[in-house]
Amino acid sequence: MFKRARLIHKPSPSSSSVRKVPVRFCAATAALFCFLSITSSLCCAQEHDVLCSEGSGGFEAESHTGVTVQVRAARNGGLAARTCEGILGWNKHSVTIATGASQLDIDALGVDLGLDVPVAAFQVKKMDSDCCMEYQIYSLERPAQLLRTITGGDFFSAADTDLDGRVEIWTDDAGAVINFENLAVTELGSAPTIVLRFAHGKLLDVSSEFQLYFDHEIAEIRKGLDSEDLSDFKRSDGKLSPDTQLSAARLHQLRVVKARILEIVWCYVYSGREQQAWRTLAEMWPTADVGRIRAAILSARARGISAQVNGVSTGVPANRIKRVTIFDATSASANKLEVIPPEPILLRRPSPSGPDLPQSELLLELVIDSAGKVRSAEEAGKAKSVDAELIYAATGWKFIPAFKAGRAVASRLRLAVALKR
């Protein structure tokens, strides 16, 4: 569905911890076999990387509709600038996605997010000082046009999370809670997660369908809480202003505890379980301050991403059966593939952490969903070279998904990755 995409990458001081993965697609042969097991992660806990940052890196592709997609360094006259721009073009027409942006990224390309047309979804950070990304969704049908913009998330990731054929957009409500209770970024571990999905053209908050994910987050946060710290915080005034009689070290520790409690409460609130949220707040928060902080939590949520949705999912959490078909993008039948194979958008590997591995390359088996995200990755074959960092990095790779009969589909793919670092 796309003419062969082209990645452009130039090393940038701001992304020294990662670099482009040297990869190639394996030739399709009947001897290549399928995954024996397929797992699906709810949301990749990756260090997020983008296609273009401060004018470094880029990407080009052309869809079957004739719309070209470009992300590149912005132009200052004939020279490349230290900012990024994105352009959609067809015939002699073009639409500028952004220019002079600090960061520009393609999250999904050729995917139907539930708007009944193939789209390109861009993440735009206009200035380094901005807290959040804009998520801009453009139609790839001519004339290309902006369909929807979502603001306030630190990062966005569209994925068929549980491989049930529906694509969700995972993000966090960073804009709503920045400087909440004057907590610093180093104290506040994460902003509340929110899960979105388009249905019949409307944007729904479907976070309540993924309570398992939120429960896992709650359990992990609780593991890090100390009972003595919780008791000390419960006896405080809750506000923990700098003029308190506590030592600087103890004040900082209690502020971290305060942030962890807020994260637990947010998990309940954002997953549609307010009663549990308020019970938890009553158990862990200073009694005299519960009313004030509860009102502050609701006020922050009301001005965040929740204010941009058209409704809330009425679906209930369930143990879903992965029922979507995983098409084979490696093995050919009668010299013809089942699907048009995925094409890479962004493939990065960890920075060097030791001597070169003896093998020249590693063969990975990937399951790529219909949004182009890697749902599982593992080494192929019996002889495992154990490159855990690479496997972890692979779960954050992005592709133009496989296509069958003009529709984006989930697929399995084998990818050879050069190991020399």
- Residue 319: the pLDDT is 58
| Residues 226-250: tens digit of each pLDDT | 999 999 999 999 999 877 788 989 9
Give the C-alpha separation, 134 to 152, whole Å.
7
- According to DSSP, the residues that pair with 399 across neighbouring strands are 344
- Residue 18: the pLDDT is 25
- Kindly report the pTM of this predicted structure: 0.87
| Residues 192-212: tens digit of each pLDDT | 999 999 999 999 999 999 999
Instruction: Output the six-digit token pair for 243.
Output: 């003029």
- Residue 412: the pLDDT is 94
- Residue 28: the pLDDT is 30
Cβ atoms of 122 and 109 closer than 8 Å: no
Cβ atoms of 329 and 413 closer than 8 Å: yes
| Residues 377-414: tens digit of each pLDDT | 998 875 556 678 888 889 999 999 999 998 999 999 99
- Indicate the residue type of 166: R
Region for 77 from its dihedrals, namely left if φ exceeds 0, alpha if ψ lies in -120 to 50, beta otherwise: left
Give the C-alpha separation, 170 to 196, whole Å.
6
Q: What would you report as the CA-atom Rg of the chain, rounded to the nearest whole angstrom? A: 23
- Residue 255: the pLDDT is 94
Domains along the sequence of the chain with CATH: 165-319 (no CATH), 326-418 (3.30.2420)
Q: Which residue has the higher pLDDT, 353 or 11?
A: 353
Please report the beta strands in 211-360, taking only residues with DSSP state E, as ranges in sequence order. Answer: 311-312, 326-328, 332-333, 336-337, 343-346, 348-350
Instruction: Output the six-digit token pair for 309.
Output: 């949705």
Q: Which residue has the higher pLDDT, 353 or 252?
A: 252
